Structure 1
């Protein structure tokens, strides 16, 4: 068993740096290629900056808050409600509740983000019509 662990350690020590190098090389290569394509088309790459998404932070914040709330609720349920079922089931069989509640509450966070963005867009639309 120890021989397999040593071999795995050696493989990880070789593969991880190679993968990191390949990832960084790929990102730099694609960025340079994109700049060259813009120059070939007569565009100035310095003029085109990434578009800012004003609600991106809101979306990520609500998603992570929802996922955290789902994880916390799953933990509480697992250690209170499902603790009494330990005689029927092994206590480690409650992994599905963690994944499902993270997905449910994360989805609720994205749903709230959508409604907040929609409300702001409607408000901006009314303001533009009034001008």
Structure 2
């Protein structure tokens, strides 16, 4: 496995040299909204877990045998909602940056 990792790294460096890019100065592009995405995903999942617990205790009185599916579905729904909110925030920021760039011209 170590041989494979070193081999692939060397091939990547050689491909960069062929494209006239200095491998030592190359830095991979960062994802600026990665922390926002993970944060909203975990907050949404936590809310889904909490709501499933409350529903299981209050509505079903803790006697529901299918509570597992309630927990999984609400975690997925609220986690997806968190990712959707993250997408909307990123899209709004990108559009705002484009508007500012157009105004400068």
- The interval holding the TM-score normalised by the smaller chain is 0.7 to 0.9
SS at match of 2:28: coil
More helix by share: 1
TM-score of the two chains, using structure 1 as the length reference: 0.67
TM-score of the two chains, using structure 2 as the length reference: 0.81
Q: Find the counterpart in structure 2 of residue 113 from structure 1.
A: 86
Structure 1 residues 43 and 128: CA distance shift in structure 2, 3 A: closer
Report the Cα distance in structure 2 between the residues aligned to 1:27 and 1:81, rounded to whole angstroms: 53
Deviation at 1:77, TM superposition (A): 1.1
Deviation at 1:31, TM superposition (A): 3.4
Q: Find the counterpart in structure 2 of residue 9 from structure 1.
A: none
More displaced stretch, 25-34 vs 70-79: 25-34
Aligned: 1:52 with 2:25: no
Higher-Rg structure is 1
Q: Please, what is the CA RMSD of the aligned residues?
A: 2.1
Report the Cα distance in structure 2 between the residues aligned to 1:81 and 1:27, rounded to whole angstroms: 53
Q: Find the counterpart in structure 1 of residue 70 from structure 2.
A: 97
Q: Find the counterpart in structure 2 of residue 122 from structure 1.
A: 95
Deviation at 1:75, TM superposition (A): 1.3
Aligned: 1:80 with 2:80: no
Which structure would you say has the larger RCO, counting Cα contacts within 8 Å and 6 or more residues apart? Answer: 2
Structure 1 residues 43 and 96: CA distance shift in structure 2, 3 A: same
Structure 2: state its 5+ residue gaps. Answer: none
Structure 1: state its 5+ residue gaps. Answer: 1-21
TM-superposition CA deviations, 1:79-101 (whole Å, max 9, x none)? 221126x2xxxx44310011111
Report the Cα distance in structure 1 between the residues aligned to 2:19 and 2:87, rounded to whole angstroms: 37
